Amino acid sequence: MTVETVLSNARIVLADEIVEGSLVLRDGFIAGIDAGTGRIGEDMGGDYIIPGLVELHTDHLEGHYAPRPKVRWNPIAAVLAHDAQVATAGITTVLDALRVGMDEDADLTLDDIRRLADAIEDSVGQDRLRADHFLHLRCEVSAPDCLNAFANFDGDERVRLASLMDHAPGQRQFVNLETYAYYYQRKLKLSDRDFQKFCEKRMDESARNSGPNRVFIAAACQERGIVLASHDDATSAHVDEAIEQGVRVAEFPTTEEAARASKAAGLGVLMGAPNVMRGASHSGNVSARTLASDGLLDILSSDYIPFSLIQSAFFLGDMVEGISLPQAVAMVSKNPAQAVGLDDRGVIEQGRRADLVRVRVDDHVPVVRTVWRQGRRVA
């Protein structure tokens, strides 16, 4: 039986313009876009209708599963809590980032990570979830157990993205050792002497493991059709290495040099939405606002604050000269969807999935009022 919904009196954010009018949703897809007031349907009250947001890198799920040291929550309950939070933030497609390769401070184990992935798979199969969930493997290539952990996802068809990460001190995100000390020395309560030993161990692991692990994972992803991302590139040499390994997404470049080289090479440059809203990186690296102003930003990720994704899109569209609201919305919908091959969503266009968000803006803050996934209201 055909199911049709009409959303009228809306400001519809299309790929390159905003149209006042109505949307027709039929059987989970966008069936029509009508300018003007001719159609009668559910009155949107002049609110914006934007495409459902597509999130490529959020590690927010782990916090629901392990909310305190040594505490483990029911994995299905953790997935449901995470899903509810991302959906009510307007995210209709999410790549849940799960770590592959544990650094020394990790409270989670390889079995914990697989348990979360299984809970996602089970919840998808049982139709428990509001958003559409896939997996993003955050591969800590310097970790000794990285390849064993990666093998734990052999044949997992929900994996769509893998990132090559190395958080060893003295390079990439942590060129500044003071920033690294703020992260790890305080967290692990290390003396200066013990912290020096900790750094030396991390750098030695990076020197031994990162190169071979990058090559292996890049080849495996190419064979399996998994999109590959680099992480925290800081130099043109890092970008050259990423290109050689088949990377398509440049996650969180830490310098304008790396962002510019990535953009010139045709990589999708991804930055954190919290960076946009704060006006600076929490690690002291390049500002996402600067990259946006310079035309070097393609994709935004909520990273550690789900609501920051929609917030940053409306901020850029309102506050950054040269970026329209349709262009900003594309950074959180069309561009990330295309980056991982999800070409059926991410833009309001006839024939696309009816993944939509109704938004009102109050005091420069977007208020998510309704969320639809494939034409069905989920929030």
What integer pLDDT is reported at residue 317 of this predicted model?
A: 95
pLDDT of residue 10: 97
What is the pLDDT, as a whole number, of residue 172? 61
CA 209 to CA 205: how far, in whole Å? 6
Q: For residue 35, tell me if it sits in a domain.
A: no
DSSP 51-102: EPEEEEEE-HHHHHH-SSTT----HHHHHHHHHHHHHHTTEEEEEEEEEES-
Q: What is the pTM of this model?
A: 0.92
Query: What is the predicted pLDDT for the residue at 102?
Result: 79
Angle at 270 between CA 224 and CA 274, to 5 degrees: 130
182 part of a folded domain: yes
Q: Is residue 323 part of a domain?
A: yes
User: Tell me: the pLDDT tens digits for 320-332?
Assistant: 989 999 999 999 9
For residue 243, which amino acid is it?
A: I
Q: Are 347 and 14 in contact (CB under 8 A)?
A: yes
Residue 186's pLDDT is what?
65
Q: Which residue has the tokens 């590690």?
A: 59
Asked whether residue 134 carries a pLDDT value surpassing 90, the answer given is yes
pLDDT for the residue 169: 65
Q: Which long-range contacts (CB under 8 A, 24 or more apart) does 65-72 make?
A: 65/108, 65/112, 65/116, 66/107, 66/108, 66/112, 69/107, 70/107, 72/112
Q: Which of 186-200, 216-230, 272-286, 299-313 has the lowest mean pLDDT?
A: 186-200
Sign, Cα dihedral of 236, 240, 243, 245:
negative
Q: Out of 16-20, 66-70, 368-372, which region has the weakest mean confidence (pLDDT)? A: 66-70
Domain that holds residue 154: 51-345
pLDDT tier at 252, thresholds 50, 70, 90? very high
Total count of domains within the chain = 1
The per-residue pLDDT for 331 is 98
> Amino acid letter at 233?
D
Q: Provide the pLDDT for residue 200.
A: 72
pLDDT digits (tens, 9 = 90+) for 294-321: 999 999 999 999 999 999 999 999 999 8
DSSP assignments along 233-273, one per residue: --SHHHHHHHHHTT--EEES-SSHHHHHHHHHTTPEEEEEH
Q: Is residue 4 in a domain?
A: no
- pLDDT for 121 equals 98
Q: How far is residue 135 from each of residues 149, 198, 340, measured CA to CA in Å?
A: 14, 31, 11
Which tens digit of pLDDT belongs to each residue from 169-213?
655 666 566 666 666 666 666 677 777 777 777 777 787 888 899
Domain presence at residue 294 = yes
Please compute the mean of the pLDDT values over residues 39-67 and round it to a whole number: 94
Contact assessment for residue 49 and residue 35, using Cβ atoms and an 8 Å cutoff: no
CATH number where 325 lies: 3.20.20.140
Which tokens sit at 263? 């953009």
* Most confident by average pLDDT, 212-216, 280-284, 326-330: 326-330
Buried b / exposed e along 351-360 (16+ C-beta atoms within 10 A): ebbbbbbbbe
What is the distance between the alpha carbons of residues 139 and 99, in angstroms, rounded to a whole number?
6
User: What is the model's pLDDT at position 281?
Assistant: 72
pLDDT of 75: 98
Please tell me the predicted confidence (pLDDT) of residue 78.
98
| Max Cα-Cα span within the chain | 73
Region 33-39 average pLDDT: 83
- pLDDT of res. 63: 92
Predicted pLDDT of residue 204: 75
In a domain, 371, yes or no: no
Domain for residue 86, yes or no? yes
Better-scored residue on pLDDT, 193 or 284: 193
pLDDT for the residue 39: 77
Q: How confident is the model at residue 70 (pLDDT cuts 50, 70, 90)?
A: confident
Residue type, 154: D
Q: How far apart are CA 76 and CA 121, in angstroms?
A: 10
CA–CA dist 82, 294 (Å, integer) = 34
Residue 341: predicted pLDDT: 97
61 assigned to some structural domain:
yes
